[in-house]
Chain A
Amino acid sequence: MGSINYLVILQVAVFGFVIAILHSILENSGREEYAQLLVLLGVIVVMFTVIRWMNELFSTIRAMFQF
């Protein structure tokens, strides 16, 4: 269980890292609008990942308190 959680955190971290690099490259080559769009896209994708895991967490908690 623990190792899986680490993997997901790592995935989100690497995702953020790659998005950051892409953002700086796009900004350096004078395409600020695409850079902004990319960041927005990254936030949305990560948010969906996190929401999936939050959903799982709440299900676990709900199952725990059901008698």
Chain B
Amino acid sequence: MWLLLIKVIASGLIILTTTSFGFDMARRYRDRPRHLRQLQAALQGLATEITYGATPLPAAFANLAATHPSPTKDMLQVAAQQLAMPGNTATVAWEQGLETLLQRSALHPRDLAGVRQLGAVLGLSDRRDQERHLLLAIQHLEREEIAAEQERQQNERMWRYLGVLSGLLVVIVLV
């Protein structure tokens, strides 16, 4: 009787573990297109702030951080804070912001290749030039988003099923 109870609990734990692992992997694939879209929106907002508002960079970061959802918001907040520190250039602040974004989102380092180059341009050249660079980075993100969406369709369901079923498989072998 006790043996049966222990077996049932252990089986439940095994299935729970593999299922949560599978859902975690699925979440990574599901979040990536969304985070790419959010980053595009943030860059679009930054382009607007620069070309039409002519807002100084720290204020632009702070404004955008107030209106954007979480992973992008964190990045902009960190960038704004870093920029407020004495001695930090926009390049360093942007780099720190991107590091934060990389840690808290499902994005790959190669997604940010185009965005990373913006650090050398932001706040240093004229409006037209900055706008051109921002648009270029957005286009790069759009291409990545299409690829990410395709990857999601292939992998999201697979990882979910894989998690549940592999747990079931282990339980069946061990029982």
Q: Hey, which bits of chain A sit against chain B, CB under 8 A?
A: 11, 14-15, 18-19, 21-22, 25-26, 28-31, 45
Contacts and interface: CB of A to CB of B under 8 A. Distances in A.
Contact of B172 (A15, A22, A30): A15
Q: How large is the interface on B (under 10, 10 to 19, 20 to 34, 35 or more residues)?
A: 10 to 19
Main secondary structure of the interface of A (DSSP, over half): helix
A26 B165 CA distance: 12
A29 B155 contact: yes
B88 interface: no
B168 A18 contact: yes
B173 A30 contact: no
Contacts, number: 33
B173 A45 contact: yes
A9 to B, nearest CB: 13
A22 B165 contact: yes
A14 B172 contact: yes
B175 A11 contact: yes
Contacts of B20: none
A29 B29 CA distance: 13
A22 B157 CA distance: 12
Contact of B169 (A15, A28, A30, A31): A15
A11 B175 CA distance: 9
A25 B160 CA distance: 10
Nearest to A7: B175
A15 B171 CA distance: 10
A15 B154 CA distance: 25
Interface in B85-141: none
Contact of B161 (A11, A15, A22, A45): A22
